[in-house]
Structure 1
């Protein structure tokens, strides 16, 4: 027992210091327990075959599919429209939405569904994801207190009461006290997250190594200010013409950057609209949508000359579209190119530089000493140190990146291409997510099977490009952390530490009255849940709570609810629940962040629950 407690204390100290990676600490703790003959090798490795760990891997993949298809951005846009940019409203909206979903779905599944949505929401609102993700994890646990299926400890105490000959708890028996926990918990989380997380800056890097992502590039070069959509109909004389024949640049001073056209595919597994970069030999067809760059008077003159339909006043005015819309897709995109001092392109006019012929890209803009040249580019002379914004197929940009003598491409084009959302797959990803939620609610299969089925479907249907992309969505540090800490509960139980705590509780508080016993059971459960799973903790304490109530001659229901709530409301450490671990990496949290925010919430909410339980379930 002493060795187990010392290992636990040492691991907690290292977690708190933050000087050693959390997954390494968990593995080292396992090794010590095996070497000390407290755990067998199979027991030490059992955490990595645990259904919770397998389910977390699947949920990371599902979340990656939701993010990669742009579904997260769509939903986050709706939430942002509902809550506005006010951070307090955003927090409340996220927590209430998460709590509602957590009422019917496991808190781990809830966080996996909401995590990519909330990250996207934070980015859209100009906030740091770290300000929202920890409240998200906590809210998922609070939502679990509302119904019978919300969290496993609720099921445990119902079974314990039924076996003891008491009335069975109904689906909504948990709702009244759960609403109190949710309401008060939301206020406490808002206060402490504002206090300890509001100063955090958004240090995420979405550029794929470039330092600036394509949306930021599009905004920097003000692409959206002169991009328009024109539709070709049957009467348009431009139909069936090749772009080179039209001499649009010389006549109107404008540039067609992209053409979108419908395909014949009806199957949702394929795109129904294809986007392609406009090339000199591209033939324009009826129903094509042309993305045209230029000033509005010239665009309007071009539309009238060729009887085109001007679809809108600006191509990115529609809600939810990014600044790079019309300049980037899964097939082509934009990148910034620096002209080095020894480049052959120095003093060449853009139209004579051969960027289109040699690299198969178009030049969209030039940045020179802090100023931007966006018009009359063909007759502009390239100078040393110029930064050129180019557009082309991702493969062409990647090929150009290998040319180090005459141009230097900023960033990693292939990584940027991989980050482009597969927007045509968003409805499919939404359907898979909904299927997973329904299967989990209906309990058609074990939860882990439902999650893994959804993960496989995300890859099989192309919501994630391939298995390599699926593996990249998994945060392996969190997986190793949880897999390494699960066997710790076995060590605590085998060493007798858990039994010692529970028996000591009954022996010391049995004579102090029902209220003292209630508080003791609640906080003993809450404390032990910091180190072992909430389900295991509930299984351990439920019969103790029932026995204590019978010995005191009082109603056992509040004592059993104390076990359930104490096991569920556990926020003080990252490895106490899978949701806490799921958001740790995405929120860039340290161990102490959970202590600062989660510990006071857990303690204060515990005090409130001890006071409130006898009001709903009298002794």
Structure 2
């Protein structure tokens, strides 16, 4: 072995140990690898930094943004929620349906994001069906990885082996090249889980409590908001048209609050599906056909409607929407939060009407919790006391400003986090259209794959499926991006120094005499073992050039060997820390390490054995 090869293999060994230990962030390890290879002159600066301009890295950034749009518009949640209802109350039907739905979503967006969206839905379904969530959550995590094998963009290792093949001069893979193998993986996984589920938790061990403040739904329910929320529409003959809320002074005259105004975006859309949602402020001008969301006693709301010739929608004209509920108090722009008065608050002893909440913070007070009492009416004349909890509504931006004010009030919970949980449901059809366009472009290959993904990502931002560019950047898992960009040069170094040839020689000499199938098994199970300790992406980046070199030495087609690398790197179930989805469900499912060994290890082995049988059928040697 020459000096550069020894350095490269030493760096690889140290990096692998650090990846396995988990004590150093994986992206920091990747950057360290890159720097060592550059400082030792094994790679030139251009080669060392080439990973960050690699099409795989750019595609991954775009896919994260597209996935963010799918999640933020509620498209994934709506689709999965509707499909999962078909599962009914049977544990077997639910388990199969959960795995099918999760894998379908996982074929197009990141497995971590898929599990994050599906987890609360599955827990809710489990409790409704009186099933321990632990019976369903591990299959959910495993299905997200199985789904990654259905499409070219389903998981990073798929893109890694595509890049390896293209760089070696072989034909690129089509968008659905993985589909036959992926379907076999999925069918095997579902059947295996049906047998292995006996090892999953069977006894209910209690539910996890909500920490850090009540959720928006809980707040709305606790303060009985829906019992005091009415929709009133402005007609053509109404005398309040073209007037501002300041002029009308409705709270003083009728003791009700107009908390939101819904307005059509265009005359062409006769349904209230695509609407502007804005907090009703003093300067808001009332227009014809506006729908006013009014909070207060029914008698006063009716009196207000009668006085100005308005229509009570909940008793008359339909809005083509379901009746007002908790969600009307919180949208992607507007939210509710609970506020506590501090012991030294200057608001203690003041009347609500003199508190200046609306003028100073631009928020409405919807209710007051005083000990066990909930005060919802005639709030203007209420004197605020220490210990009161106030339910306020305003834009998320104004609630965030209120949260920064710690002198007089303290906002309970994390309103910024709650605002991110809310989805822009009216944008879901747009997100679906953009995703469909991306898939069509990827399948037809009219333009390069990286361009297709980036177009879809840009459209998600332009059409507001991702709230803004800042949110678009937040959807990207930068640790994964830096890890991929930093480790791609390692594969260059492995090839450049001859280390790939050396390792592949060892594999060929030790297993090649037993035939191509034995070598294929060696590549697959070595990759499968290593992926227990390092990320699937890093594993694929390291093994792809080795598998390619071994196949060429054997005079065999590289396709089955590279598919073995991708599948072996992705099918990792035997450890809770080997993939983010496995780790995500551990707490919610109340799993122990032994659960992953009893269920995940046999599943990983079974899929490996099945792949050894079917890979040569789909991709002959």
Shift of the 235–195 alpha-carbon distance from structure 1 to 2, 3 Å rule, reads farther
2:577 paired with 1:570: no
SS at match of 2:43: coil
Shift of the 598–456 alpha-carbon distance from structure 1 to 2, 3 Å rule, reads farther
1:83 is displaced (CA, Å) by 4.2
1:364 is displaced (CA, Å) by 0.7
Deviations 1:166-214 (A, max 9, x none): xxx9999987665433311344468889979999999999x9xx75554
Residue of structure 1 equivalent to 2:150: 143
Contact 1:573–1:594 under 8 Å retained in 2: no
Q: Distance in 1 between matches of 2:336 and 2:16?
A: 47
Residue of structure 2 equivalent to 1:539: 548
Q: Distance in 2 between matches of 1:174 and 1:332?
A: 43
Q: Distance in 2 between matches of 1:598 and 1:495?
A: 37
Q: Distance in 1 between matches of 2:278 and 2:223?
A: 21
Contact 2:153–2:159 under 8 Å retained in 1: no
Deviations 1:14-53 (A, max 9, x none): 2222222111122223333334444333333222222111
Residue of structure 2 equivalent to 1:57: 61
Q: Normalising by the residue count of structure 2, what TM-score does the alignment of the two structures yield?
A: 0.74
Deviations 1:307-366 (A, max 9, x none): 6243379x99978x9964222334433222221222232223324434334443321112
Q: Distance in 2 between matches of 1:231 and 1:572?
A: 55
Shift of the 417–524 alpha-carbon distance from structure 1 to 2, 3 Å rule, reads closer
Q: Paired residue for 2:72, among 68, 71, 74? A: 68
1:448 is displaced (CA, Å) by 1.1
Shift of the 71–122 alpha-carbon distance from structure 1 to 2, 3 Å rule, reads same
Q: Distance in 2 between matches of 1:52 and 1:611?
A: 30
1:85 is displaced (CA, Å) by 8.2
Shift of the 452–226 alpha-carbon distance from structure 1 to 2, 3 Å rule, reads same
Deviations 1:491-531 (A, max 9, x none): 33334343234333333345546764564465467668863
1:396 is displaced (CA, Å) by 4.3
Shift of the 61–91 alpha-carbon distance from structure 1 to 2, 3 Å rule, reads farther
Residue of structure 1 equivalent to 2:82: 78
Shift of the 58–263 alpha-carbon distance from structure 1 to 2, 3 Å rule, reads closer
Deviations 1:388-444 (A, max 9, x none): 111234454455445443333446767766765444433322222221111111111
Q: Distance in 1 between matches of 2:175 and 2:380?
A: 70
Residue of structure 1 equivalent to 2:52: 48
Residues 269-280 of structure 1 mapped to structure 2, 5 A cutoff = 272-278=274-280
Residue of structure 1 equivalent to 2:590: none
Residue of structure 2 equivalent to 1:310: 313
Contact 2:220–2:226 under 8 Å retained in 1: yes
Q: Distance in 2 between matches of 1:158 and 1:267?
A: 49
Q: Distance in 1 between matches of 2:396 and 2:153?
A: 49
Which moved further from structure 2: 437-446 or 468-477? 468-477
Residues 289-438 of structure 1 mapped to structure 2, 5 A cutoff = 289-294=291-296, 308-311=311-314, 324-369=326-371, 371-401=373-403, 403-410=405-412, 421-438=423-440
Q: Distance in 2 between matches of 1:518 and 1:414?
A: 50
Contact 2:233–2:310 under 8 Å retained in 1: no
Q: Distance in 1 between matches of 2:86 and 2:179?
A: 26
Contact 1:562–1:610 under 8 Å retained in 2: no
Count of residues in correspondence between the two structures: 581
SS at match of 2:329: coil
Q: Paired residue for 1:508, among 507, 510, 516? A: 510
SS at match of 1:458: helix
Q: Paired residue for 2:486, among 452, 468, 484? A: 484
Q: Distance in 1 between matches of 2:226 and 2:74?
A: 20
Shift of the 182–246 alpha-carbon distance from structure 1 to 2, 3 Å rule, reads same
Residue of structure 2 equivalent to 1:9: 13
SS at match of 1:274: strand
Residues 184-333 of structure 1 mapped to structure 2, 5 A cutoff = 184-188=188-192, 211-212=213-214, 214-234=216-236, 254-264=256-266, 272-278=274-280, 284-294=286-296, 308-311=311-314, 324-333=326-335
Shift of the 99–43 alpha-carbon distance from structure 1 to 2, 3 Å rule, reads same
Shift of the 396–154 alpha-carbon distance from structure 1 to 2, 3 Å rule, reads closer
1:62 is displaced (CA, Å) by 1.7
Residues 45-194 of structure 1 mapped to structure 2, 5 A cutoff = 45-83=49-87, 92-93=96-97, 95-97=99-101, 99=103, 110-112=108-110, 116=113, 118-126=115-123, 134-144=141-151, 179-188=183-192
Shift of the 532–403 alpha-carbon distance from structure 1 to 2, 3 Å rule, reads closer
Which moved further from structure 2: 232-241 or 492-501? 232-241
Contact 2:64–2:109 under 8 Å retained in 1: no
Q: What runs of 5+ residues in structure 2 fail to find an aligned partner?
A: 125-132, 588-592
Residue of structure 2 equivalent to 1:550: none
Q: What runs of 5+ residues in structure 1 fail to find an aligned partner?
A: 548-555, 575-579
Shift of the 411–177 alpha-carbon distance from structure 1 to 2, 3 Å rule, reads closer
Q: Distance in 1 between matches of 2:487 and 2:161?
A: 23
Which moved further from structure 2: 466-475 or 348-357? 348-357
Which moved further from structure 2: 414-423 or 19-28? 414-423
Residue of structure 2 equivalent to 1:610: 612
SS at match of 2:466: coil
Residue of structure 1 equivalent to 2:459: 457
Which moved further from structure 2: 92-101 or 491-500? 92-101
Shift of the 508–34 alpha-carbon distance from structure 1 to 2, 3 Å rule, reads same
Q: Distance in 1 between matches of 2:178 and 2:417?
A: 47
SS at match of 1:77: helix
RMSD value, Cα: 5.2
Deviations 1:566-607 (A, max 9, x none): 543423679xxxxx9886998899xx9999687654433112
Contact 2:146–2:185 under 8 Å retained in 1: no
1:541 is displaced (CA, Å) by 4.0
Shift of the 137–412 alpha-carbon distance from structure 1 to 2, 3 Å rule, reads closer
Contact 2:213–2:414 under 8 Å retained in 1: no
Q: Distance in 2 between matches of 1:65 and 1:171?
A: 21
SS at match of 1:143: coil
Shift of the 433–178 alpha-carbon distance from structure 1 to 2, 3 Å rule, reads closer
1:88 is displaced (CA, Å) by 7.0
Q: Distance in 2 between matches of 1:492 and 1:239?
A: 73
SS at match of 1:344: coil
